[in-house]
Structure 1
Amino acid sequence: MDRLAVDQVRQLPLGERVAHQLRMRIVKGELEPGTHLVEGALADSFDVSRGPIRDALRRLESEGLVESRRRGVFVTGLGEDDIDELFTLRESMERLALTRAIERADVPTAADQLDARVAVMAKAAEDKDPTAFAEADLEFHTAFYQLAEHRRLWAAWEQYRPVFAVLLDVTNTQDRDLQPSVASHADLVRVFRSRDTEQAVAMLSEHILSAGRRLRTRLRAAQ
């Protein structure tokens, strides 16, 4: 099984477990755009009832990975425009999260917590474990949404976080050297600690948008 770590996936509700597996296959291109997702066949494949399948398909539709048509549910996949939308949306949301975090949080304590997450990323990079790195990377960025104290912003992040988890897992697997990413996160914590909102936001924006550009380049090459 691809990770989120196996134990984390097992803790998810059944519909979320199915959604995770389908999401991974869609992002990796194993389920191509236009593929008809038949409830009965999926229920047999995952050895579950149709209820969790419906829950999974509704979740994936909210993420823009599948769409309902008159004849059923079909994979839409992720093209370059989808990647652009996802990463520009995330950049806008996370700029707000970071700004509010600097304004509202106990910055020294929050920065210490962020440094601890960077240390986990560094260990994963040293161990050449891209999946553990992706999990730590996502936890690092999720911290800004937690610190922002903004319910609706948090809800928006929760909607798209599973997609970004898969994107990170897939892209980090292709990166031979994760140390530059560790360094860029450590630099962001340093600026966050200084409360320099303008510089922190600029660094964050470049970090997120450059990740989107790299992913679009890889998608173009794969096609």
Structure 2
Amino acid sequence: MMDQVTMPRDAYAMILKAIDDGDYKPGDRLVESDLADRFGVSRTPIREALQRLETQSLLTRDGRSLIVASLDHNEMSELYVVRAELEGLAAKLAAQHATEEEVRLLRDMVEEDRALVDDPQALSRSNRRFHKQIHLASHNRFLVGQLDLVHRSMALIATTSLAAEGRGPEALEEHSAIVAAIEAKDGAAAYSALREHISKAFTTRLREDAAD
């Protein structure tokens, strides 16, 4: 077994996580030397990771520099349409295939998140974990893969809808309804509940953007 200190580090995964966590936001410039210093790897894997991220449209060119990409209004709308359908399907399949342990974990996650309603960033991170758990509970590896791609693109939206006033508690009640449908093995209700949850999140985001 390799010593933890000498194990290779995945530059792509580390940069992707930093974008997903909001350390690098849309419009931020990514510099090879800075990234190499931050993550403790050489510039070669950093360069390869940046090329891969650019190919996936997570980074874009600004002159000679690479910056974190952003989504315009139409792209964001298209993303939410796809997300709603795929997330709804994941909930429907979870209602059919989730184990008792998976359902219990989802329920526990909702209850634990009630302590985070006043911390939108922490709630946002926990929200991603909650949705990921539903994806996994679908027990469909191809659907999970497609949803990973969708959520990767969601990182290109700089703000979280959970920061809107009153949205945190509302979202948790929606999560609770989703879990209840999954627990009842009601696929149609789970599908509808999750699609409605995504629709409300998108509406909140549009309202916030209009206000700005």
TM over 0.5: yes
How far apart in 2 are the matches of 1:71 and 1:44?
A: 15
- Matching of residue 219 in structure 1 with residue 209 in structure 2: yes
Query: Identity percentage over the alignment?
Result: 18
Distance 2:188 2:87 in 1: 13
Match of 1:44 in 2: 33
* Residue 110 to residue 25, structure 1, CA distance change in 2 (3 Å): closer
Match of 1:118 among 89, 101, 110: 110
1:171 maps to which residue? Answer: 160
Report how many residues are paired.
197
Q: When the two structures are superposed, what TM-score results if normalisation uses the length of structure 1?
A: 0.72
**Would the alpha carbon gap of residues 57 and 217 (structure 1) be closer, same or farther in structure 2, given more than 3 Å must change?**
farther
Q: Does the CA contact (< 8 Å) of 1:15 and 1:53 recur in 2?
A: no
- Determine if contact 1:19/1:56 at 8 Å carries over to the other structure: no
Matched ranges for 1:48-63 at <5 A? 49-59=43-53, 61-62=55-56
- Name 1:14's counterpart in structure 2: 11
Tell whether 2:195 aligns with 1:205.
Answer: yes
Task: Report what 2:73 is aligned to.
Answer: 80
CA distance in 2, matches of 1:59, 1:217: 30
Between Structure 1 and Structure 2, the one with more helix by share is 1
Counterpart residue number, 2:101: 109
Separation of aligned partners in 2, 1:160 and 1:54: 22
1:60/1:113 Cα in 2 relative to 1: closer, same or farther (>3 Å)? farther
Structure 1 residue 79, shift from structure 2 partner: 1.0
5 Å-filtered alignment, 1:26-41, equals 28-31=25-28
Root-mean-square deviation (CA, aligned residues, Å) is 3.1
Structure 2 residues not aligned, in runs of 5+ = 1-8
Q: Structure 1: state its 5+ residue gaps.
A: 1-11, 32-36
Shift of the 25–85 alpha-carbon distance from structure 1 to 2, 3 Å rule, reads: farther
**Which secondary structure state, in structure 1, belongs to the residue aligned with residue 84 of structure 2?**
helix
Aligned counterpart, 1:189:
179
Aligned to 1:78, what secondary structure does the other structure show?
Answer: coil
The residue aligned with 1:6 is none
For structure 1, which segment, 156-165 or 137-146, has the greater mean C-alpha deviation from structure 2 after superposition?
Answer: 156-165
Q: Secondary structure at the match of 1:170?
A: coil
Take 2:183 and 2:64, find their aligned partners in 1: how far apart are those partners? 54
SS in 1 for 2:197: helix
